[in-house]
Amino acid sequence: MRIRFFKLVLFALFIFLTLYIFYLEVVRGGYYRDLSKNNTIRIIPEEGARGRILDRNQNILVDNYLSFDVSIIPGDMHDRDRTFKRLSEILNVPETTLRQRFSINYLAPFSPVAVAENLDRQQAIRVEMFSYDLPAVLLHTTPKRNYPYANLACQLLGYLGQIDYWRLTKLEDYGYKTKDIVGYGGIEERYDYYLRASEGGLQVEVDHRGRFKRTLGYKYPANGKDVQLTLDLSLQKIAEDALSENGNKGAIVLLDPSTGEILAMANSPSFNPDLFITGSPSALQKIFNDPDSPLLNRSIGAALQPGSIFKLVTAISALATHKISPGTTFFCPGSMRVGRRTFSCWNTHGQQNLYQAIAHSCDVYFYHTGLAAGPEAISEFAVRFGLSKPTGIDLPQEAGGFVSSPAWRKTVRKQGWYDGDTANFSIGQGETLTTPLQLARMMAVFANGGYLVTPYVVKAIDGKDVSANRRRFQAIGADREFINVVRRGLRQVVSDEHGTADILNMSKVAIAGKTGTAESPPHQPHSWFAGFFPYDSPKFVICVFLEHGGSSHYSCQVAKKFIEKMLDEDLL
């Protein structure tokens, strides 16, 4: 009985399959034969717009424009030579150029291949007029990146380019694919996931000549999310003008000492990100081969000797370990013998207490102070001040800098540490390396009363405030009394008529800070100034760095131009 049942089931299935095959082959055979021979399902991709980048006041720093582009669908190009020749005549573009672009951008037979971009209106009209004669040619609009302020904040913003193999292997699981346009450097890279658009497109049915027959479906492209920065457009413009006025190489960082918000981040030399979209290969090669490294964000990526600004770390370490007091004095005859070597001072200062030594940047005073505190204490406090490691800013390619110590020297280099090393260490020379952002962050400790902030540059994503997640504060572990001692010394750097930054002694705003001249033989020294203002209730911390800029006097001049312009525009 059971065997008979299975036979009936199998027979029923056989009859069903026979009838279904008859239906497909005879009843619907003509339809499917026509579809396979005469029709093609084509997917016409449509890109969404990349998210905009805005400043803190909703001013647009980066947006998009619609570009008229021409693509060729390889599977519909039955007469290749005629297609390229005719398109060349319409666009007035060399045929060899069109063929070269086709070859470079080709992906698949029915995937549109871009051969001409950024057409003017007249070119677009001509392509549309002759579209009946070129069934393989597709005219479409594509959102393209626009940098309305050209070079402004270019290292911080970044640029766009075709995805490379390394990034593709890392990001393939997140929907990235070959020939995708992605961000490189700055915000464009760090927040690419939020800025990038989701591709949509139209699915259509066309006949064997590529003529449209019917629409099968449509998926709307999704625009990327807007990213709002903490940057202030007006302050950024002022910073870039002040920095580049005399052709300087360097950086200016301006941050809020109470929050860590980056208000301006200028770098020089710079580049135009638009060249990576519209520029020629030779123009890009010039940027990549430029010995002045315009792509480098010096604010976070240039780690160099800080010079005398590091004396603040030495002072705090000696105060905290009770090796000196504010009234401790040392005599400066212009040099000091340490071991077998004579260490010079940049001037002869005579008797100096701590306040005077900070104001006059007396090297001899800090040789004594550093030897009294010891290299271990100096190294420890340098780390507490956030030196020797990245600040954690939400930007890629941040350098960590370096702070040496006797333990490191012994373990890594298998060398000893001598008093001469301590003398060099005490004034920010030797192996110590810091970035402008690290020094700005260190200076913020004296502005806010002893807290290390985490710098950040993104305020909101897609209209949602994310800054609360970035605001982190860490006490450096030094008594408020010692912080205030050094703070008063920083004010005297500017207010004392013999202070190294007396050029910044202005009637409209009280400024405090520290200069640094870091020797870099055989080149000119690096020029530094880091400070904060207004003194009584600091709203801004500034760090000016001039690469091989000479005396610190020049960085003070740049800082003065910047602050005077802030006052003129009522931004202070």
Query: Nearest Cα to 375, choosing from 410, 405, 403?
Result: 405
Backbone angles phi, psi at 164, to 5 degrees: -95, 170
- The answer to whether 416 touches 404, Cβ cutoff 8 Å, is no
Give the mean model confidence (pLDDT) for residues 121-132. 80
Quick one: CA dihedral 270, 272, 277, 278, positive or negative?
Answer: negative
366: its two tokens? 């800090």
Q: Which amino acid is at 567?
A: L
Give per-residue pLDDT as tens, 129-188: 877 778 888 787 788 899 999 999 999 999 999 888 888 888 877 778 887 889 999 999
Per-residue confidence (pLDDT) for residue 1, from 0 to 100: 62
Per-residue confidence (pLDDT) for residue 220, from 0 to 100: 74
Per-residue confidence (pLDDT) for residue 35, from 0 to 100: 54
Per-residue confidence (pLDDT) for residue 179, from 0 to 100: 78
Give per-residue pLDDT as tens, 38-85: 456 666 667 788 999 999 999 999 999 888 888 888 877 778 888 888
Q: How confident is the model at residue 127 (pLDDT cuts 50, 70, 90)?
A: confident
Give per-residue pLDDT as tens, 522-561: 889 999 999 999 999 999 999 999 999 999 999 999 999 9
Give the mean model confidence (pLDDT) for residues 8-17. 76
Query: Nearest Cα to 110, choosing from 69, 71, 75, 70?
Result: 75
- The answer to whether 356 touches 306, Cβ cutoff 8 Å, is no
Tell me the longest C-alpha to C-alpha distance in the chain: 119
Give the mean model confidence (pLDDT) for residues 485-497. 97
High-pLDDT (> 90) share of the chain, %: 64
For residue 204, the cross-strand partners are 42, 215
Burial 94-116 (b: 16+ CB within 10 A, else e): eeeebeebbeebeeeeebbbbbb
d(CA 572, CA 569): 8
Is residue 548 classed exposed, middle or buried when 0-12, 13-18 and 19+ CB atoms within 10 A define those classes? middle
CA 215 to chain centre: 43
Give per-residue pLDDT as tens, 376-391: 999 999 999 999 999 9
High-pLDDT (> 70) share of the chain, %: 92
CA 108 to chain centre: 35
For residue 222, the cross-strand partners are 198
Tell whether omega for the bond before 522 is within 30 degrees of 0, i.e. cis.
Answer: yes
Q: Which residue has tokens 């199998």?
A: 10
DSSP-assigned letters across all residues of 242-270: HHHTTT--EEEEEE-TTT-BEEEEEEES-
pLDDT of 105 strictly over 60: yes
Q: How confident is the model at residue 292 (pLDDT cuts 50, 70, 90)?
A: very high
Residue scoring higher pLDDT (113 or 213): 113
Residue scoring higher pLDDT (271 or 4): 271
Q: Which amino acid is at 548?
A: H
SS3 435: coil
Give per-residue pLDDT as tens, 437-483: 999 999 999 999 999 999 999 999 999 999 888 888 899 999 999 99
Tell whether omega for the bond before 375 is within 30 degrees of 0, i.e. cis.
Answer: no
Domain positions in the chain: 42-229, 233-275+300-568
DSSP character at residue 210: -
**Total-model pTM:** 0.85
Select 233-275+300-568's CATH number: 3.40.605.10, 3.50.50.60, 3.40.710.10, 1.10.10.10. 3.40.710.10
Which architecture, in CATH terms, is 42-229? Alpha-Beta Complex (3.90)
Give per-residue pLDDT as tens, 209-260: 555 566 666 677 789 999 999 999 999 999 999 998 888 899 999 999 999 9
Query: Nearest Cα to 345, choosing from 326, 355, 331?
Result: 331
Per-residue confidence (pLDDT) for residue 41, from 0 to 100: 66
